[in-house]
């Protein structure tokens, strides 16, 4: 299985990264996590033969702005977009005029499916839970090729974050705040939070991603986050755009 980090910034694009998008290439499917501007690169990696599933964490615009890039793609397989049930009506509006070319006009089959927190076996084996963010937000725990991959976008560390991460082979966790930063009402994490969670949940590897665009203007700032996190949890890595991780 390959994981392509296509957009590893939170909030806005900079020279260091684009807004959130990660592609997991597994035997059974292509799984896209969030649709920030990094999504424009997915067609470099998506080949015919496997279904494509896009999981949206929440509706903050940096996580969905790349949806208007969908007409660029020439997928041969259907695209299913999963989002929280209560977000579906907004996402349905967002994916048509006057925001973008309507998804019903795409040259490949596309549908939006609303889901509630819970355990799923179809079309994939996964669990999703509500996280701690200012607006409704889902985190995901996938069981792929007998490995547990957890994706927690915008969130403060919370009990559901922990439950999704427990014993994961790979935890991809947001890192919007800089080391030592004070938390606010929005619900985000700093590198120490991610590392403490990874340690408590006994994950095999922590990948910090979704770095705040203003707090992390360069790769050096991300490296500092890694240094701080590794003091708490040694198997911590940092994501950057176009990094490929094999599991």
Write out the residues near Zn ion by the rule CB under 5 A.
60, 154
What ranges make up the beta strands (E) of 62-189?
A: 79-84, 110-115, 118-120, 126-130, 138-144, 147-152, 170-175
Cross-strand bridge partners of residue 173: 152, 208
**Residue with Cβ nearer Zn ion (61 or 244):** 61
Smallest distance from the beta carbon of 177 to Zn ion, in angstroms? 13
Smallest distance from the beta carbon of 176 to Zn ion, in angstroms? 8
Phi and psi of 79, rounded to 5°? -110, 125
**Residue with Cβ nearer Zn ion (155 or 236):** 155
Smallest distance from the beta carbon of 66 to Zn ion, in angstroms? 15
Tell me the CA end-to-end span of the chain in Å, nearest whole number: 5
**Residue with Cβ nearer Zn ion (46 or 187):** 187
Strands 138-144 and 126-130, bridge-based pairing: antiparallel
| 206 within 8 A of 173, measured Cβ to Cβ | yes
Smallest distance from the beta carbon of 91 to Zn ion, in angstroms? 15
**Residue with Cβ nearer Zn ion (10 or 95):** 10
């Amino acid at each position: 299985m390959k994981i392509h980090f296509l957009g590893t910034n939170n909030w806005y694009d900079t020279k260091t990264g684009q807004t959130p998008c990660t592609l997991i290439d597994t035997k059974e499917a292509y799984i896209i996590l969030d649709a920030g501007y990094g999504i424009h690169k997915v067609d470099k990696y998506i080949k015919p033969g496997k279904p494509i599933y896009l999981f949206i964490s929440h509706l903050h615009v940096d996580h969905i702005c790349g949806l208007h890039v969908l007409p660029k793609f020439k997928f041969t397989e259907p695209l299913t977009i999963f989002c929280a049930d209560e977000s579906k009506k907004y996402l349905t509006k967002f994916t048509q005029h006057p925001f973008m070319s309507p998804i019903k006009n795409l040259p490949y089959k596309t549908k939006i499916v609303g889901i509630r927190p819970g355990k799923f076996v179809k079309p994939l084996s996964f669990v999703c839970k509500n996280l701690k963010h200012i607006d409704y937000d889902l985190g995901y725990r996938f069981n792929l090729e007998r490995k547990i991959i957890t994706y927690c976008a915008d969130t403060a560390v919370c009990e559901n974050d922990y439950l999704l991460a427990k014993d994961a082979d790979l935890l991809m966790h947001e890192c919007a705040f800089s080391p030592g930063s004070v938390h606010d009402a929005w619900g985000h994490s700093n590198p120490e939070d991610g590392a403490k969670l990874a340690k408590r949940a006994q994950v095999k590897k922590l990948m910090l991603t979704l770095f705040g665009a203003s707090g992390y203007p360069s790769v050096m700032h991300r490296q500092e986050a890694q240094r701080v996190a590794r003091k708490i949890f040694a198997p911590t890595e940092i994501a950057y755009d176009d990094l490929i991780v094999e599991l």
